[in-house]
Amino acid sequence: MGVLLGTAHLCAQDAVPSPPQTRVLIVSGAAGSDEYAEQQKKWRETLVGQLATRFTVPASRTVVLAEKADDGLQAATAVNVRQALAAIRASQGTADTLLVVLFGHGTFDGVDAKFNLVGPDLTSREWRDALAGIPGRIVFVQTASASFPFLAALAAPNRVVMTATDSPQQKYDTVFGEHFVAAFTPEAAEADLDKDGRISMWEAFAYAAEASKRYYQQRGQLSVERALLDDSGDGVGRDVPKPGEDGLLASRLFLDPDPATASGDPSVTLLIGRRNTLETELDELRRKKGFMPADDYERELERVIVDIARVSRDIRRRIKS
């Protein structure tokens, strides 16, 4: 028995933690017309293709629900959405990331917003309940009209929520989804704001939000959408130009594996550990915001952010050298 216990102990010590993984759920809802159906198909196929080829997210970790159950896809029904999220809940680890993207139409009944599915729709609160208990970090991108209420309903720690609109009354078709997908393509080189060769969730949001604004400006039209992002958990959100707490988590959240983890350089490993410690410190600091004097909070916030930036810069330099 002692030998068996000793062997088990050695195996546990030698076990190597699995690297963080990204899972994806794309829901392409009720289109309403052939034109919109073709548009949604193009967006989801482009996103799936880019995630697989450029961001190493395999098909085995990507689930796509569409209006029509064909080409091996399941229908975008409330039942299938809940089943897909339940399966992800059972397999996702605390270090993993889940990306959920909704393409389609939304409505608002004066009480809650809904995303149009095949059959009964799901309200923002029902989406919140379906996501409950999933470990790790979640990026939820609601690209439909009247998507604003999803911001407050889904806001939570370790979660990035994006909406195409800043009002539940916005009932017109949006273009945010198209530009969000484009942010992950090689043609959108400007999406990489810090030129580190990767696209963070903040960079994808900023690119899509600004491109959506230009869409209306170039046509001489009044913009009917203003994208918002919340990642502080307060459900308020922010636009790209506005200062605020939101954007800190999204700016350090990526869908592809961190190239630093594959370097094999012990000094890089130490730097990654330092960065992880600082990011944990940042999360703790943000949770203490309401209990700290404003000046102290801002001073500590600036210090931690600057330290993270410096360590990240050192990691990039060592990888390139």
Q: Is the pLDDT of residue 242 over 70?
A: no
Cα separation, 143 vs 26, whole angstroms:
11
- Rounded Cα–Cα distance for residues 80 and 65 (Å): 8
DSSP letter, residue 59: G
DSSP letters along 190-256, please? GG-TT-SS--BHHHHHHHHHHHHHHHHHHTT-------EEE-SSSS--B-SSS-SSTTTTGGG-BSS
- What's the whole-number average pLDDT of the chain? 89
pTM of the model: 0.84
DSSP 144: S
Contact 176, 207 (CB under 8 A): no
Q: What's the mean pLDDT in 200-204?
A: 95
Class of residue 45 by CB neighbours under 10 A (exposed 0-12, middle 13-18, buried 19+): middle
Identify whether the C-beta of residue 234 lies closer than 8 Å to the C-beta of residue 152. no
Which tens digits make up the pLDDT trace of 72-121? 899 999 999 999 999 999 999 988 999 999 999 999 999 999 999 999 99
Phi, psi dihedral angles at 295 (to 5 degrees): -65, -40
Residue type, 201: M
Mean pLDDT of 198-227: 93
Q: What are phi and psi of 206, to 5 degrees?
A: -60, -40
